[in-house]
Chain A
Amino acid sequence: MSEFRVARLERNLSFGAKITQINGLLVVLLCLAAMIGVAVLYSIADGSWTPRAAQHGMRFGILLLVMLVIALVDIRWWMSLAYPTYIVALLLLIGVEFAGVKVMGAQRWLDLGPVRIQPAEIMKLALVMALARYYHGLAIERATSLRHIILPAFMIGVPVLLILNQPDLGTAMLVGATGAAIVFLAGLSWRIIIIGAIAGFIGGITFLIFGLHDYQRARIDTFLHPERDPLGAGYHILQSKIALGSGGLAGKGFLEGTQSHLNFLPEKQTDFVFTALGEEFGFIGSFSVLVLYALILLTGMMIAARARHSFGRLAAAGVCVTFALYVVVNISMVMGLIPVVGVPLPLISYGGTVMLAVMIGFALVMNVHIHRSAELPSGHGFLL
């Protein structure tokens, strides 16, 4: 009875009705995270709104509106855009290969006149959408089969190899892991997963031995022995751990972090922002941030689980997985658990591209939430 009512409602959802369907909890949680970002950036600038804190807040405000608008767009649009977006992202990645701009030794950027874009960031979302789109059309028993892993394997493998070639090991692994998670959620059989895991393990080891660039090898070496060169490459990790550790239980207090204010922290407004936070707010503060991220992820996964169509489930879950990987990789990195890779802390780190990517991702999640009961065709047409 209720199921029927909801289904009927969804099909003819008016604009006003859609607005009432917005998930308020997710919005509140995202706002909280962004406000923490503003506070930390304010502190890092020695208690000043310029140059970053105010801009970070404004960016978030604008992107929140953008997110809500996109969330209200019919989910079928999203679905129909899945493959084209993926193909465009792939072409851009290939474009980077030939016409990319080198920044700090890695060819990651594509100069498009007024804007410089990082196609790998677009690919993260495009891959999520494309895989969700692919599995949406598959019967469940076929999704588990070996035959139907071939196309997704290419969809994941090609961009991963392209990104690896930039070289950007960190993003490549993130993209690969996100893709693998979606394939896993779509129901790949355990047998194939285990075989794949073994193959991946061997491949990974081989790559670590033969395929690493010198700077990557140096980073890993530094990761394993940070104390060897405290003023050189190990400096970031060491200073970051000092900042966190010296924060103690309750932190040194807002605006009182010596490591950040005396510039001992590298990249403190971007990749290492978590350390500045941990120094000033201590274990209580940094643990609270972890909890906040967990709540955002939980909300996102609940939305995914409640969706009544494969596309929505996999797309929302894919965004959550990407988000979770950002958080875990970033925090592990600043705590010295893994080597330094250029991954920011979503919503708190300063940076427009990342914020844009994260907010469009959550726009998709919110879209899935609003359209959780929509009836989506499972046709095999390329554009639906």
Chain B
Amino acid sequence: MARRDEDASNLFTRRALILGGAGLASFGALTARLYKLQILESDRYRGLSDENQFNFHLLAPSRGRILDRYGNPLAENADNFRLLLDPDQVLDLDSLLSRLAKIIPLADDTGERIRKSIKQRAAYSTVVLAENLEWKEFAAANLHLPELPGVRPEVGELRIYPDGVSLAHVVGYVGRVPEALITDEPLMHHPGFRIGRTGAEKALDEGLRGQAGALKVEVNALGRVVRELPDPATVAKSGADVTLTLDQRVQSFAAKRFEGLSAAVCAIDIKTGAVPVLLSTPGFNPNLFAKGISGPDYRALLEHEFKPLFNKALGGTYPPASCIKPVIAMAALQHGVTDGRERIRCTGKVKLGDREFHCWRRKGHGPVNMLGAIGTSCDIYFYEMARRLGIDRIRDAVRLFGFGENFNLGLGGGNTGLVPDQAWKQARFGVPWSQGETLIAGIGQGYIATTPIQLAVMTARLASGRKVVPHLLARQEPQVFEDLGLPVSSLGAARAGMVAVCESSWGTAFRMGGLKLGDIKMAGKTGTGQVRRISQAEREDRVLRNDELPWALRDHALFVTYAPADAPRYAVAVVVEHGGGGSTTAAPPARDILRELLKERVETPDSLSAGREKGSSA
């Protein structure tokens, strides 16, 4: 028994040693593995551990503001309380959304929208769950964050346009980055990032944008930020503020003045070329675009008869009509086709070949000299001047005053309008120029087309005799425009005519009563742009009044003006689409805008510091 037990014991010991050896080998293997992980590959795993522990959040830079010449904000930023979602940390989107919906109101299509944007963008990029939340909702969501893995609260920026509608075309608006413009730049993928889509926002986008920063944060496995580790070297750099030459107060005033009309206004500081007013009505609310406009709202804007999305001041083309007459007069004197004192007899119509050309005043003005012709806007006088000059000399004259040149102020778009001549007509229609066309060019009708800003430039150049070029971005250094090289006497006669328009009892714009700003005199020229052909039959019977015609067939009302007449400061051009007569619809608001501008005491150049001493306005 003892012997057998000893055998069993020995056998056990041998076998136990074998098992022990296997055990030792196992522990050896474990130790080797530990050594590999913790000693040999430690650096790599430490890196991975840091990657786990730390995340970098992209910090969107604050977008630079857009200011008017006095520093009033035209575009600024407000807090946008929003919730972002890190899709890679969400296991069950539907249950997350249903939990969230109990806390804050969510649109029904949120889930669908998020799934779509997750599909479109790289997996690591965040998507917007909800934005523009009320503070109360945002606070409630923050309170429930522990139950909402993957949800990240953020106080972002919302672009706001305090005086949106009147500045919509010039300042423009920001929006999400269109797919075509998305680059590899991380900022482009930030859900809060907005890019300038139109107007100054687009033209000056790069400077306004600023530089993105990064925030190192410690996160737990659910991606929840445990600790923030800010580094001064990686903070976001805000975009620079931009100062425009605009005068927000006057711009806003002008917008109110033209409420309900389809109109365009451009004002130019004659000395500096600064543009204090650039208005196109009706406008639209750019704040809607910045937040993301709804389909129906957008369609309504697109389909509106008055084309609210279109900047008429830069891009709309209209016959300059009688506003062209001072230029024709100036050219006539310059080329010596008249001496200015010469009287032309106006009988209300003139015959050229077998065609009759009419004056706006059916019974005629009688014999008129240049001053009278401009002041009363006599058509017959200017038919004659045009005939004497010929179309090519008219072309040269109006080009000198800015016609045919695209002044889009760097905003993109704009229009050159049309300055016709013999060669143009031959090329365009294959038929030679006819003298009748020269005649109507003399009163700014026919092929010739101009933009409101061209009319303002024309007025500024007439007033100063210099080659004024408009600009929108405020400059620090003074601007001296080159002289147009025109005879002072010729320019003087044209100016005298324009003063007569406003200040002489027989002037076409006298009845509105001048500037009413002390003894400051103004100069101007009315214009009524015909958009339809008046048939011989209608002319023989009775020319229909504008209020008898549908809106789209009524005349355009135009008025160009500058003041003070003896020391020109501002030029203003107004076009009221299908507004009827220039003297009634366009002139009074243009005068008011001019007066508002003159009330401000701004020194040249249009610097900010000068703007501070905003005088006796309002």
One of B15, B27, B30 near A335 (C-beta < 8 A): B30
- What 0/1 pattern do residues 285 to 319 of A give for CB contact below 8 A with B? 01100100110011001001100111001100100
- What 0/1 pattern do residues 328 to 346 of A give for CB contact below 8 A with B? 1001100101000000000
Flag the segment in B37-45, B155-163, B179-187 that touches A: B37-45
- Chain A residues within an 8 Å CB radius of B33: 332, 335, 337
CA distance A217 to B156 in the complex (A): 47
Interface hits, B220-243 → A, CB 8 Å: 220-222, 226
- Chain A residues within an 8 Å CB radius of B53: 258-259, 262
Tell me, yes or no, whether A88 is within 8 Å of chain B by CB: no
Interface hits, B482-537 → A, CB 8 Å: none
Chain A nearest Cβ from B304, distance in angstroms: 51
CA distance A259 to B39 in the complex (A): 18
CA distance A263 to B41 in the complex (A): 22
Please tell me if the beta carbons of B44 and A328 are within 8 angstroms of each other in the complex: no
Tell me, yes or no, whether B206 is within 8 Å of chain A by CB: no
Majority SS at the chain B contact face: helix
One of B12, B15, B34 near A244 (C-beta < 8 A): B34
Chain A nearest Cβ from B2, distance in angstroms: 10
Please tell me if the beta carbons of A310 and B34 are within 8 angstroms of each other in the complex: no
CA distance A328 to B26 in the complex (A): 7
CA distance A313 to B11 in the complex (A): 11
Flag the segment in B16-24, B189-197, B429-437 that touches A: B16-24
Tell me, yes or no, whether B8 is within 8 Å of chain A by CB: yes
Tell me, yes or no, whether B147 is within 8 Å of chain A by CB: no
CA distance A377 to B559 in the complex (A): 128
Tell me, yes or no, whether A246 is within 8 Å of chain B by CB: yes
Chain B nearest Cβ from A296, distance in angstroms: 12
- Chain A residues within an 8 Å CB radius of B551: none
Interface size on B, residues (CB 8 A): 41
Please tell me if the beta carbons of A290 and B52 are within 8 angstroms of each other in the complex: no
One of A249, A263, A305, A337 near B39 (C-beta < 8 A): A249
CA distance A383 to B48 in the complex (A): 59
Tell me, yes or no, whether B392 is within 8 Å of chain A by CB: no
Tell me, yes or no, whether A92 is within 8 Å of chain B by CB: no
One of A139, A244, A310 near B38 (C-beta < 8 A): A244
Contact flag A262-B15 (CB < 8 Å), given A242-B45, A245-B44, A246-B49 = no
- Chain A residues within an 8 Å CB radius of B37: 241, 244-245, 335
Please tell me if the beta carbons of A139 and B4 are within 8 angstroms of each other in the complex: yes
One of B13, B88, B221 near A263 (C-beta < 8 A): B221
- Chain B residues within an 8 Å CB radius of A239: 52, 221
Please tell me if the beta carbons of A245 and B42 are within 8 angstroms of each other in the complex: yes
- Chain B residues within an 8 Å CB radius of A357: none
CA distance A290 to B28 in the complex (A): 10
Contact flag A283-B5 (CB < 8 Å), given A245-B44, A262-B220, A305-B12 = no
Please tell me if the beta carbons of B5 and A248 are within 8 angstroms of each other in the complex: no
CA distance A242 to B45 in the complex (A): 5
CA distance A258 to B35 in the complex (A): 20
Please tell me if the beta carbons of B30 and A185 are within 8 angstroms of each other in the complex: no
A328 closest partner in B (C-beta): B26
CA distance A248 to B49 in the complex (A): 12
- Chain B residues within an 8 Å CB radius of A290: 27, 30-31, 34
Please tell me if the beta carbons of B45 and A310 are within 8 angstroms of each other in the complex: no
- What 0/1 pattern do residues 59 to 94 of B give for CB contact below 8 A with A? 000000000000000000000000000001000000
Tell me, yes or no, whether A181 is within 8 Å of chain B by CB: yes
Majority SS at the chain A contact face: helix
Tell me, yes or no, whether B9 is within 8 Å of chain A by CB: yes
Please tell me if the beta carbons of A242 and B39 are within 8 angstroms of each other in the complex: no
One of B5, B11, B23 near A297 (C-beta < 8 A): B23
Interface hits, A226-262 → B, CB 8 Å: 231, 239, 241-249, 258-259, 262
Tell me, yes or no, whether A9 is within 8 Å of chain B by CB: no
Tell me, yes or no, whether A264 is within 8 Å of chain B by CB: yes
CA distance A314 to B222 in the complex (A): 48
Please tell me if the beta carbons of B49 and A140 are within 8 angstroms of each other in the complex: no
Chain A nearest Cβ from B186, distance in angstroms: 21
Tell me, yes or no, whether B219 is within 8 Å of chain A by CB: yes
- Chain A residues within an 8 Å CB radius of B222: 263
B49 closest partner in A (C-beta): A246
Please tell me if the beta carbons of A258 and B34 are within 8 angstroms of each other in the complex: no
Please tell me if the beta carbons of B34 and A313 are within 8 angstroms of each other in the complex: no
Please tell me if the beta carbons of A278 and B218 are within 8 angstroms of each other in the complex: no
Chain B nearest Cβ from A115, distance in angstroms: 32
Tell me, yes or no, whether A370 is within 8 Å of chain B by CB: no
CA distance A187 to B5 in the complex (A): 13
Tell me, yes or no, whether A49 is within 8 Å of chain B by CB: no
Tell me, yes or no, whether B425 is within 8 Å of chain A by CB: no
Please tell me if the beta carbons of B218 and A246 are within 8 angstroms of each other in the complex: no
- What 0/1 pattern do residues 169 to 193 of A give for CB contact below 8 A with B? 0000000000001001111000000
Please tell me if the beta carbons of A181 and B34 are within 8 angstroms of each other in the complex: no
Tell me, yes or no, whether B7 is within 8 Å of chain A by CB: yes
Tell me, yes or no, whether B46 is within 8 Å of chain A by CB: yes
CA distance A370 to B540 in the complex (A): 138
Please tell me if the beta carbons of A313 and B49 are within 8 angstroms of each other in the complex: no
- Chain A residues within an 8 Å CB radius of B49: 242-243, 245-246, 258-259
Chain B nearest Cβ from A372, distance in angstroms: 11
CA distance A301 to B24 in the complex (A): 13
- Chain B residues within an 8 Å CB radius of A278: 34, 38
CA distance A243 to B7 in the complex (A): 49
Please tell me if the beta carbons of A185 and B16 are within 8 angstroms of each other in the complex: yes
Please tell me if the beta carbons of B8 and A305 are within 8 angstroms of each other in the complex: no
- Chain B residues within an 8 Å CB radius of A220: none
Contact flag A262-B221 (CB < 8 Å), given A140-B11, A185-B16 = yes
A285 closest partner in B (C-beta): B38
Interface centre among A139, A241, A304, A309 (most CB of B within 10 A): A241
Interface centre among B23, B26, B41, B53 (most CB of A within 10 A): B23
A188 closest partner in B (C-beta): B15
Please tell me if the beta carbons of A335 and B34 are within 8 angstroms of each other in the complex: yes
Tell me, yes or no, whether A348 is within 8 Å of chain B by CB: no
A266 closest partner in B (C-beta): B221
Chain A nearest Cβ from B150, distance in angstroms: 12
CA distance A242 to B37 in the complex (A): 9
One of A139, A282, A301, A331 near B20 (C-beta < 8 A): A301
CA distance A314 to B13 in the complex (A): 11
Interface centre among A140, A249, A337 (most CB of B within 10 A): A140
Tell me, yes or no, whether A324 is within 8 Å of chain B by CB: yes
- Chain A residues within an 8 Å CB radius of B29: 332, 337
Please tell me if the beta carbons of B41 and A328 are within 8 angstroms of each other in the complex: no
Please tell me if the beta carbons of A242 and B16 are within 8 angstroms of each other in the complex: no
Please tell me if the beta carbons of B52 and A185 are within 8 angstroms of each other in the complex: no
Please tell me if the beta carbons of B8 and A248 are within 8 angstroms of each other in the complex: no
B40 closest partner in A (C-beta): A245
B15 closest partner in A (C-beta): A185
A284 closest partner in B (C-beta): B38
CA distance A263 to B146 in the complex (A): 14
Q: Which 7 A-B pairs have the closest CB atoms?
A: A245-B45, A246-B49, A263-B221, A283-B38, A262-B220, A248-B42, A246-B46
Known pairs A242-B48, A290-B34. 19 more at Cβ < 8 A?
A140-B7, A185-B12, A186-B12, A239-B52, A246-B42, A247-B38, A248-B39, A263-B221, A264-B220, A278-B38, A283-B35, A294-B27, A297-B23, A305-B13, A310-B12, A317-B12, A321-B19, A328-B27, A331-B30
Provide 24 A-B residue pairs closer than 8 Å at the C-beta atoms, listed in order of the A residue. Answer: A139-B4, A187-B15, A244-B38, A245-B37, A245-B45, A245-B46, A245-B49, A246-B48, A248-B42, A259-B53, A264-B220, A278-B38, A294-B23, A294-B24, A298-B20, A304-B16, A305-B13, A309-B5, A310-B12, A313-B8, A313-B12, A314-B12, A328-B27, A335-B30
**Interface residue ranges, A against B (CB under 8 Å):** 139-140, 143, 181, 184-187, 231, 239, 241-249, 258-259, 262-264, 278, 282-283, 286-287, 290, 293-294, 297-298, 301, 304-305, 308-310, 313-314, 317, 321, 324, 328, 331-332, 335, 337
**Interface residue ranges, B against A (CB under 8 Å):** 4-5, 7-9, 11-13, 15-16, 19-20, 23-24, 26-27, 29-31, 33-35, 37-39, 41-42, 44-46, 48-49, 52-53, 88, 218-222, 226
